[in-house]
């Protein structure tokens, strides 16, 4: 079963030909591989071209001609089909692939990954255990992805208050 993955949000128009800045955390190689995007409430659009203005991606979509048409799309959430994303090298993954993975704390079953949040300093795993949720710094040395599960060992005291 396929699913849509949030790529970002369309920002301000760029130029006069219908380009839109794309606010995204996606890596350039991922964006450059996409041939279509799903615009929330507007359906699928073919990507006619993608260009870079410094570090900012600017996307040109089929049917979006001119600055006025582009301005109508500002703030629209943008998604890609998970199956359209390029395959990553071994040991790399997309965050949507982590949701639902079991979480083990000190080798014992603890909960599951409910979400991954992009935070300022580092990304956070939202670990759900029953009705409680815990935020765990994903890049922390005590967190590792291994064997189809997230394993947390040696976490600082107080990270998982009961």
Domains and CATH numbers, the chain: 4-84 (2.40.30.60), 95-152 (2.30.30.240)
CA distance 150 to 133: 15
Taking 60 as the threshold, does the pLDDT of residue 71 lie above it? Answer: yes
pLDDT at 46 over 90: yes
Coil vs helix vs strand at 67: helix
Rounded Cα–Cα distance for residues 96 and 91 (Å):
15
pLDDT given at position 2: 60
CA 110-111-115 angle, 5° bins: 140
Indicate the average pLDDT of the chain.
89
pLDDT band at 122 (very low <50, low <70, confident <90, very high): confident
pTM (two decimals):
0.69
Q: From residue 152, give the alpha-carbon distance in Å to each of 3, 4, 13, 136, 145.
A: 28, 29, 44, 9, 9
Mean pLDDT check: name the lowest of 86-90, 106-110, 143-147, 150-154: 86-90
In degrees rounded to 5, what are phi and psi of residue 54? Answer: 65, -130
Q: Of the spans 21-35, 51-65, 121-135, which averages the highest pLDDT?
A: 51-65
């Amino acid at each position: 079963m396929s699913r849509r993955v949030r790529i970002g949000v369309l920002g301000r128009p760029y130029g006069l030909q219908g380009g839109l800045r794309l606010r995204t955390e996606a890596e350039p190689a991922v964006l450059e591989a996409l041939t279509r995007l799903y615009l929330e409430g507007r359906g699928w659009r073919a990507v006619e071209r993608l260009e870079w203005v410094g570090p900012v991606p600017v996307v040109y979509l089929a049917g979006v001609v001119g600055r006025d048409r582009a301005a109508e799309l500002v703030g629209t959430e943008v998604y890609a089909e998970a199956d359209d994303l390029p395959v990553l090298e071994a040991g790399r993954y997309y965050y949507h692939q982590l949701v639902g993975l079991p979480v083990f704390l000190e080798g014992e079953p603890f909960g599951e990954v409910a979400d991954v949040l992009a935070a300022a300093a580092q990304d956070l795993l939202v670990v759900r255990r029953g009705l409680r949720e815990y935020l765990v710094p994903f890049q922390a040395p005590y967190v590792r992805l291994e064997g189809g599960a997230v394993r947390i060992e040696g976490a600082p005291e107080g990270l998982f208050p009961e």
